[in-house]
Each structure stands twice: as C-alpha cells, then as structure tokens.
Amino acid sequence: MAERYGAPVGGDRPSRGQAVIHPSPSQWLDVAAAVRADGFDQLIDFTAVDYLTYGADRSLPEGVQPERFEVVASLMSHERRERLRMRVQVPADDPTLPTLFDLWPGSESLEREVYDMFGIAFEGHPDLSRILMPEDWPGYPLRKDYDSGRIPVQFKAASNVR
C-alpha cells in the first residue's frame, strides 16, 4: 500500500479491516488524488481528533511526527469492496489542509463541520463558514482546551400537587 500512494502505512496489519495510510500535510492532496484515481470513489466519513491531552505515545508509523490534531478520512472502493483510512497529522500552529472538495464534492459539509468544531481550515474550500455554531461564536467547541463555561439550567416552577 505504501508503494502505491507514497505515504507511510499504519502498522503491518489493517485496522478493523481497513488499510490505514499516513500522508504528511504536504502530501495530503496528492495522496488523496492517487487514492481517488485508484477507485476509492466514496468518502464515507471525515472528522478530526484533538490529541492535546493524550500525549505523544500514540500508535503512528515510524517517521510520522505526532501533532496536536489529526484529520481522518474514511474511503471506500465499491468495485473492490475495500476501505481505506487516511490519517494526517495537523500542527496546532498552522491548522490548515487543502480541501478535498474537488475530489469528493460531498466533503464540503464535513470539512465545514471540522472547521467549526476544531478550527482546522481547508484551503480552496468553496464556503468555509460555520455550519453548527453561530458565525460570531468564540472558539471551537471540540478542542480539548475549549472552556465550556457554565450555563445555568432554568426550570419552570414545578408543582408538588398531583
């Protein structure tokens, strides 16, 4: 698999039946294009993970530098009935990646959700704006350092009479 796409492979065996590759941020778009050309025609899922409190002892292939964020794209080849997971490490000081919208147009809302919840931007995205939170919402709610604050719950007066 590594020879086919030019990205490190996650371990000697698949994870839950899926091959896992680890392109670098600079390889992200080229590897995604090669994967698409190789028949992975459906983007099944697209998300991110914040490893701020996890530590550096994650299971990554040799040569892959752990970063605070990881973007994960799950793909499927219907013709071969195969799945593939792409995991890319995204640094906290420059949380940007190229968009996958030109390869998988369905990625548009998924990238917007990752942007909205984690603050990871996708260069070349047709409409990178918030999708779940109001436009003026401060911060990114799924980051580990996001202060959720306290919002008091208000109940209507309950009657004890039955």
80-118: per-residue pLDDT in tens? 999 999 999 999 999 999 999 999 999 999 999 999 999
Per-residue pLDDT for 17 more than 60?
yes
Nearest C-alpha neighbor of 95 from the set 76, 116, 61, 121: 121
The dihedral through the CA atoms of 38, 26, 29, 91 has a sign that is positive
In degrees and rounded to multiples of 5, residue 85 shows phi and psi of -115, 130
Lowest mean pLDDT among 40-44, 59-63, 89-93: 59-63
The number of residues making up the chain comes to: 162
In degrees and rounded to multiples of 5, residue 63 shows phi and psi of 95, -10
Q: How far apart are CA 70 and CA 132, in angstroms?
A: 20
Domains of the chain listed by start with CATH number:
2-123 (3.30.460.80)
Mean pLDDT of 7-14: 64
Max CA separation in the chain (angstroms): 73
Burial class from Cβ neighbours inside 10 Å (0-12, 13-18, 19+) for residue 92 reads: middle
Q: If pLDDT is split at 50, 70 and 90, which confidence band does 57 have? A: confident
Confidence at residue 7, expressed as pLDDT on a 0 to 100 scale: 76
Q: If pLDDT is split at 50, 70 and 90, which confidence band does 6 have? A: confident
| Pairing outcome for strands 19-21 and 42-50 | unpaired
Residue 145 corresponds to which amino acid?
D
Per-residue pLDDT for 15 more than 60?
yes
